[in-house]
Amino acid sequence: MEGQESPEKKASSCSPSPAENRSCSAVETGSDGADNKTTSIKEEEEEKLSLITWNVDGLDGEDQPERARSLCSYLISYSADVVLLQEIVQPYMRFMHRRLADTYTFIKGGEEGYFTMMLLKKSRLTLLNSEIVIFPNTHMGRNLLIAQVMFRGQKLLLMTSHFESCKSGSAERMRQLRLVMKRMSEAPDDETVLFGGDTNLRDYEVATVGLPSSVCDLWEQLGEPEKCRYTWDTQANTNKDIPFKCHFRFDRVYLRRASRDGVPRLDPHSMALIGLEILKCGLFTSDHWGIYSKFSVE
């Protein structure tokens, strides 16, 4: 990876726009053009928390400069409060840091090989602390990255991970899910907990482990919209040359609301798949679609 041409050394022809995506929303908002309506909608949107989670496939060196620049274009365009990334490598991280460090606080889940990373918008979130929890039985160096933050006076516990990959990793993947669910459910009742990441989970694995009653799946809460179901789809996304076509809901967002009386609650508002535009280099930004989601404050 280090021996390849770095992203900043090659100009990119990729400039994706968030105007078109697969959006699934619990509440639709609009404007009739009146100034007071526009102001009201703007204030309402500022109340919401926005989040992106995305496996960006930094391990793949093919057309890496174009894809890295495309990733930054998406992040700048969507301007999410929280960005949770998987399969980050050092060249990607350095490239992103030069362009986004003024806007975001960077938290890395590792240093060697590939790792996870959080970006927290400085104008909206205050970082209190962070930690890395190693999965004790992983064979792939996987871990859980956690950050405690303040958002508009509310405590949030943010989590991201890249669970064990491949069919053979099923048992370890379910152990990792159990650990994450335990950490989410045992968090203090005045904290809202959000997890987003590449879980590599199959539906039967989730059913086997089960989710705590306090934890909900964003996609399920929004009515299981079909157009937002699959985040890894080898028929629609041709980045990988795979002889068989398949699709999975590998990338997931989980929410555990704060339960203490008087503490604001986050509720799922909308989700959309991003990264659907094919770039001029002939590839998509990643072999995964990203998830862009919003949460309303109750």
Instruction: Please list the active-site residues.
Output: 198
Q: Are 146 and 133 in contact (CB under 8 A)?
A: yes
Least Cα distance to 118 among 42, 213, 226, 195 occurs for 195
The 3-state DSSP class for residue 240 equals coil
Closest CA to 276 of 226, 227, 220: 227
Q: Say which DSSP state 64 is in.
A: H
Q: How far is CA 230 from CA 27, 55, 151, 264, 287, in A?
A: 22, 13, 30, 31, 12
How far is CA 230 from its chain centroid?
Answer: 14
Q: Indicate the pairing of strand 82-88 with strand 49-55.
A: parallel
Nearest CA-CA partner of 117 in 76, 85, 74: 85
Query: Could you give the 3-state DSSP secondary structure of residue 151?
Result: strand
Closest CA to 50 of 277, 223, 272, 246: 272
| Cβ contact 22:227 at 8 Å | yes
Running DSSP on this structure, what letter comes out for residue 297? E
d(CA 117, CA 184): 19
Strands 154-161 and 143-151: antiparallel
DSSP letter, residue 2: T
Contact 231, 251 (CB under 8 A): yes
